[in-house]
Structure 1
Amino acid sequence: MLRSYMLSATLLTMSAGFALAHDTEALMESPPGEPYVQVSDVLPLPEFLPGLGTLFVVPDTLPAGPFLAYDHDGKLSATVYMTPLEALSSGTAYNDLHVGSHEVTSVDVYYNAGHPGVDEPHAHVVLYHDADAKGRLAQ
């Protein structure tokens, strides 16, 4: 009996891992599908933002995100978080945020004074998913 419980738990854990890998794989090309929405479809922003790319977000995760950033060819290039400075200074923590890809080659953190969608001053935390991603998003 114990052996069958152990086997069931192992299979459940393995299937959850496969589901996570499948979900991550599905995010690699634009558009990522529901529940993500293209930011430029719901906010007065251009479709492609130089430095960030074409952004998709799950509205329920605002303001932090993650925002999935795609290059002009629709390749996932970065995961972006937008964390309001006032919330951080008041002790808000943003825990267990999702990533578009588990491969991260570099990270940038910088200040933003605010824009449609995240109006207050905030920090952008950008996780680049390959060595050329930053260059592709800059154009």
Structure 2
Amino acid sequence: MKLIPTALAILLAGSFSAFAHDVPAEIAKAPPAGAFKAVSSLVKLPDFLPGMGQLFVDPASLPAGPFLAYDHDGKLVSTIYMLPVKDLNPDKSFNDLAAPGGNVDHVDVYYNAGHPGVEEPHVHVVLWHVSAADEALVAK
């Protein structure tokens, strides 16, 4: 699918400068400071989503995010962007997407048909701040 490489290229073009910094203290542990709210307090979703973790987002940044994802111990494990499929076209770009969680170990990109909070089809771009093996921290 051409959409996935395009979304990844858009994300990475604006994010390389963010790869080299550490996790800021205000978001290192859940709940993060500032305007971030638990996604479960905004829409009908469980507090912890297997495979993703406990999600927080600044409601003003919806639908794209960033969403901050935490493990069961409240440690930040990933930053997730949810980019609407309808916006992945030549007339729209997602510039300067940040990796607020610091260093990125690897990136996953996958399609989602929609869910509470982001009902329209979109692409999840997951910036993992932990190793692939440590993704198990949010598996269940």
**TM-score normalised per structure 1:** 0.79
Taking the aligned partners of 2:78 and 2:23, their CA distance within structure 1 comes to: 16
Higher RCO by CA contacts (8 Å cutoff, separation 6 or greater): 2
CA change 1:71–1:23 in 2 (3 A) is closer
- State the secondary structure of the residue aligned to 2:138: helix
Partner in structure 2 of residue 77 of structure 1: 77
Partner in structure 2 of residue 96 of structure 1: 96
CA positional deviation for 1:117: 1.0
Q: Which amino acid aligns with 2:138?
A: L
Q: Which amino acid aligns with 2:117?
A: G
Taking the aligned partners of 2:85 and 2:22, their CA distance within structure 1 comes to: 34
CA contact (8 A) 1:28 1:101 kept: yes
Within the alignment, does 1:137 sit opposite 2:126 as a pair? no
Q: CA RMSD in A?
A: 1.7
CA positional deviation for 1:23: 7.8
Taking the aligned partners of 2:135 and 2:37, their CA distance within structure 1 comes to: 22
Taking the aligned partners of 1:26 and 1:55, their CA distance within structure 2 comes to: 15
CA contact (8 A) 2:57 2:67 kept: yes
Taking the aligned partners of 2:105 and 2:73, their CA distance within structure 1 comes to: 19
CA contact (8 A) 1:48 1:55 kept: yes
Aligned length: 119
- State the secondary structure of the residue aligned to 2:135: helix
Partner in structure 1 of residue 14 of structure 2: none
Partner in structure 1 of residue 37 of structure 2: 37
CA positional deviation for 1:138: 1.2
CA change 1:137–1:117 in 2 (3 A) is same
Taking the aligned partners of 1:75 and 1:125, their CA distance within structure 2 comes to: 19
Partner in structure 1 of residue 50 of structure 2: 50
CA change 1:62–1:133 in 2 (3 A) is farther
Taking the aligned partners of 2:85 and 2:67, their CA distance within structure 1 comes to: 17
CA contact (8 A) 2:23 2:100 kept: no
Q: Which runs of 4+ in 1 moved over 6 A?
A: none
